[in-house]
Structure 1
Amino acid sequence: MLKKLAAISLTAGALVLAAPAAASAAPGDSYAEPPSVLVDTPVVDVCGESTVVFEPGYFQPGENVSVGVSGAKAADASYSGNVASAEGAMELSFSPPADGEGNYSIAFSGTRSYTAVITVAHAHDAAAGCDHDHDPAAAPAGAEAPQTGELALAATGGAVPPVVIGGGLVALAAGGLLVATGVARRRRS
């Protein structure tokens, strides 16, 4: 009788711990799509500007998103707009340096991460310079944008309630205790 009770307890504990995996959605279920990102001009002139637009809900409301730029002479590039709106949307403007060329990777790191690639074509005289080269409002690429507000941990999406985990552990412990009791009784007789 004790063996059956122990086996049932261990099985129940294993099922409780496995329930979140069994409850996951099957392929093809209609869940809401995550918010999307749009790079309005993926290929720009040296003195051009590209904007990366994140739909509402992509970031946490008011989140200060870290931005990193890499590419040729990336330290001379500039960007502005790295704080999400009250709806979690964000629009970042990127301006390459006057003598920039090739691909620039713009890495966003916040609640979600994203990397946009913008290509700079040489259709402008680099010696003439650009109007945006000395914009005091724009942060130079490679420099960390100023932090505002409180820093918080990223939302990782863990969805298993602690009560379920605790219940599974209690059932597992109870099963183990019953097995140990059965073994001790058997040794005595």
Structure 2
Amino acid sequence: MENTIDVILHPVRIRIIQALINQQITAQQLKELLPDIPQASLYRHLKKLVEAKIIHIVDEIPNRGTVEKVYSINDPNKAVIGPEELNKLSKEEHLGLFIKFMANLMGEYERYLSHEKFNLVNDGVSYRQTSMNLNEAEFAEFIKEMTAVYKKFSANKPQTGRRRRTLATIIIPNQTKEQ
């Protein structure tokens, strides 16, 4: 059986988890959100996420002789790799996880660019890197404020006029002479 990290970081399962944030949806609705994933693959990945207790079935709706399941994230904390699990990993395993993370971002960007009419400026697309000099207290304040902004806006439910956007954050500290 795959460990939780491998279950979460599969490219298709990452997309399913992202689609389920703050909403309960059926496999058919997921198929509409993720049209490039074959239906059989989608069901296989949903099953794996349910078995790993990362998502769960919140309702079953009878529909023309079948039962349509409604999925939701079981516990948002289970859809995240915790510090205990991360601390157990080797350097090579961390690098592998980072590569999977970056591959997922590249896939999302490629899907965006594959649309016939895309406009990076109008769509608010950006990628940038900045370095900041922060002491530990300033860094803690920065993380606290950034977390508050994430929480405020990631709680938004899908609705007309809202467009789903992906924001990825990577924080890599430089080594200092003191270390």
Structure 1-normalised TM-score? Answer: 0.19
Higher percent of residues as helix: 2
Higher percent of residues as strand: 1
More RCO (CA 8 Å, sep 6+): 1
Highest Rg: 1 or 2? 1
Structure 2-normalised TM-score? Answer: 0.20
